Amino acid sequence: MGRRLLTGGIVWAGAACTPRAAWVLVDGVRIAAIGEGDESGGELPVADECVDLKGGHILPGFVDVHLHLSQAAWFPLGADGLSWASLADALHAVRVQAAADSEAPWLLFWRVARWTWPEGRLPTAAELDEAAPGRRVLVSTLDMHRGALSSAGLATLELTNHDSARFGGDITRDRRGRPTGELWEAAYTLALQRALTDLAAHTREAGTRAVLQAEVTRLLAYGITHAHDPYVAPDWHEEMLALHAGCPIRLSWGTGAPAGMQVRPPGPATAPDGWYGDSGREVKLFADGGDRCALRLPSRALVGLLGGALGESWRLRAAGPLREGLRRKLAIRPGHVATPYLRYTDPELATLVSDYVQAGVRVRIHALGNLAGGQAARVLAQLGVPPDAATIDHLLLLDPGTADQVAATGVAVSYQPGFLPRYGDMLTAARVGRYLTVAGGRLLLDAGVPLALSSDHPCGSVDPLHNLRAAIQRQFTGPDGQPRQLQPGQALTPSEAVRAATGTAAASLHAPGAGGLTPGEIADLVLCDGDPFHTGTRVVQTWIGGTPAWQHTNGAAP
C-alpha cells in the first residue's frame, strides 16, 4: 500500500487531539509522521501518493463503545414512529402496515416518543389486536426500554405466573392479573429479542448477513472505525464473528442472557469463549433500567417532579402525562426520596460482577441514575475490581458525590451527549435537572473519570459529528420550537470531546487508537470536508489501518 501523504488539512493531533495545520504521512497500516511544513514553507516527505485535503479536517477514527448494531440493523425492516403525535397516529400506522405486509412474522414500530402524546401511554394489546387482528406487533419507545405487544406477540413469550415473579413490575397486568401488552425493561428486551430472532429466521442466513452488513456500511459513512455492541445474544455470537471476518470495520461486542439484554446473565460458564471480535470478553449488566432509572433526590424534589408532570399535562391539555407521572414509584426516605428501580441488591450485583471478572470477562454496567451509579461504584470498590476490568455506561443523571465515587474506581464511563438533543425537552419538562446534572460531562471529567463518548444508537443518534457538537453545544429544541441549552456549564471543549470519542474510547476497549493521531499509532482516521464542529460538515472518507474503508462519492449521502 506504500506511503500516503495527506496535506493541506487541519489535523486533530496527538493524544490531546489539538487541531493544527499539518500534514500526515501514513506508511502501511500506521501513521509514520506528522509535520507542519507545506507548499509555502518547510519540506514535505516523499510519498507514493499525495492527497490535498483543501482545508478539510483529519480526526482519529471514531470508536463507538456503546452502539447496538445488532438491534439497529433491523430498524429498516420496521416502521418509524418518531413523528406520531398521539395514540390514534400509532394505531393508524399499525393498520396501514398490517395491510401492506401480510407476510412479515412481526410488525415492528420503532422510536415512539409516547411522552409527547396527550395520552402519555402506549397502545394496549386489545387496541393493537383491533388494528392488526391476529398479528404479532411490537411498538418500541425511542429509548428502547418500554414497549407494547399485541396478544399474538404476547403469546410468543409464553409468560407464566413464575415470570410474574421473575420480571415483577416489568409486566403490566390488569385487575384480573392478565398482561395488558405493556412491557418494561427486562420484559421488553425479552419481546425484542424474540421478535429479532423470528425476523432473522424469516430473512434466513443470507438475509441476516445482508442486514448486518448494511448497518456496518452506514456506520463507516459516519466515520466510525470501531463499533462496540454492548449486547449480542450468545446464539448470535457466530453471526457476529462472521460479520467481523467479512467487514473492514473494527468490531467488538459484549454478551448476556440468551433471552434478552436486560435479563439477568447466567454467569461466565455459558459465555462464549475466545475474543469477541477486536476486544476481549465482556458482559452487560443492568444496575437500573432506562425508562425506570434509579435516582436519589433531595426531599424537596417531590414537589418539583409532581409539578413537572402537572406542567406537561397542562401544556398538552390532557391527563396522560400526569397519570404516567403518578405511575412512578417513589420511596420516601429520611432526608431524601428515591425511585426504587435498582435491578439487584448490592450482594446480588457483587456476586455477578465478581463471577465474571474472576473468569476474565470485563463487566459493562448500565447505570442511568445516580442511585445506580453509586451502587456500581460501591460494588466495584468493595470487590477491588481493576479499572480495565469494568466500564460504567451512561450516568445520565448524576451528583458530585457519586461522580467522585465513580472516579475513585478508575473505570471508564461511556457518555452520551447525543441524548441532549433527543431527550432534552422531556428531561427539562420532568424538572430533574434542578437536582442532578444531566449528561454531566464536565463533572465527570473534572472528577478524573476517563470519558468515552458514545451514541447508544438507536436510543441516541448514531452520528459522531452530531454527538460531538451536542457535547459542547448542549442544545435541544423546546416545545415552542426554539433552541435551548441544558446546563451549559457541563460542556466539554472541542478537543476534550474528540478525545472522548476516539482515544479514550479505544483505550476503554484495549483496542488500537488510544494514542490518537501520533506517529507509530494505527492509521484509523476520518477526513471531514470542514470543521467538525460546524453544522453541515460531513465525513468524506473513513480510513481503517491506513486504507480508505469508505468514501463519499458524489450524491451518495450516508
Q: Which residues bind Zn ion (CB under 5 A)?
A: 456
Of 170 and 456, which CB lies nearer to Zn ion in the complex structure? 456
Give the residue with the Cβ less far from Zn ion, 456 or 521: 456
The nearest distance, CB 459 to Zn ion, in angstroms, is 6
- Give the residue closest to Zn ion by C-beta: 456
- Closer CB to Zn ion, residue 128 or residue 367? 367
Rounded distance between C-alpha atoms, residue 117 and residue 124, angstroms: 15
Give least dist CB 266 to Zn ion, A: 20
d(CA 179, CA 173): 4
Tell the smallest beta-carbon distance from residue 66 to Zn ion (Å).
Answer: 6
Task: Name the minimum Å distance from CB 68 to Zn ion.
Answer: 6
What is residue 26's DSSP assignment?
Answer: E
End-to-end Cα distance, the chain: 26
Nearer to Zn ion, 31 or 459 (CB): 459
Q: Which positions ≥6 away from 12 have C-beta within 8 Å?
A: 18, 19, 57, 58, 59, 60, 495, 498, 516, 517
Give dist(CA 48, CA 427) in Å, integer.
53
What is the rounded distance in angstroms from the CA atom of residue 543 to the CA atom of residue 526?
Answer: 6
| Rounded-to-integer distance, Cα 286 and Cα 380, Å | 14
Torsions phi, psi for 416 (to 5 deg):
-120, 80
Tell me how far, at minimum, the Cβ of 92 lies from Zn ion, in Å.
Answer: 30
Residue 71 phi, psi (nearest 5): -95, -50
**Nearer Cβ to Zn ion, position 159 or 283?**
283
Supply the minimum distance, in Å, between the C-beta of residue 500 and Zn ion.
17
Smallest gap, in angstroms, from Cβ of residue 263 to Zn ion?
Answer: 15
Three-state SS for 44? Answer: coil
Is the Cβ of residue 64 or residue 312 nearer to Zn ion in the bound state? 64
Within 8 A by CB and 6+ apart from 365, the residues are 285, 286, 287, 353, 376, 380, 390, 391, 392, 393
Instruction: Specify the residue, 137 or 293, whose C-beta has the smaller distance to Zn ion.
Output: 293
